[in-house]
Amino acid sequence: MLNKVQLIGFTGAEPEIRTTQSGKKVAILRVCTSRYTKKNGERKDYPTWHQVEIWNQATVNWLDSKGLAKGSKVFVEGENRHDRYTDKDGVDRFFSKVVVAMPGHELKSLDRPEHDQPEADD
């Protein structure tokens, strides 16, 4: 089976780095992609926001040390996952996210030289 997502978009904020109870770091990044249509010569944009969860420790460490500014152009490759939580009113909420965790998954800044990229974890 194949579960693969590839995005090219812009970051909506700097990455948020968290540490789990077990001590593992994870980075959360918001990425905006968009499509557009033209009607009567007028362009209409349709932005889509994606939550990206990065578990690849080399990438998380790179983000933690180098940072990634809001508005940076990025390439993301990962897998699509669906999750849910119960809000304060007891209502189940569902959301999708792109997870970068396995070999072959990556986050690449398209604004920086290639030599600044993290090495892949295997």
**Number of CB atoms found within 10 A of residue 51's CB:** 16
Q: What pLDDT score was predicted for residue 122? A: 46
Whether residue 87 contacts residue 26, with contact meaning beta carbons closer than 8 Å, is answered with no
**Number of CB atoms found within 10 A of residue 25's CB:** 16
Mean pLDDT by 10 residues, the chain (122 residues): 94 95 95 93 93 94 91 96 94 95 92 58 50
Whether residue 36 contacts residue 44, with contact meaning beta carbons closer than 8 Å, is answered with yes
For the entire predicted model, the pTM comes to: 0.82
**Of 35, 47, 31, nearest in space to 97 by CA:** 31
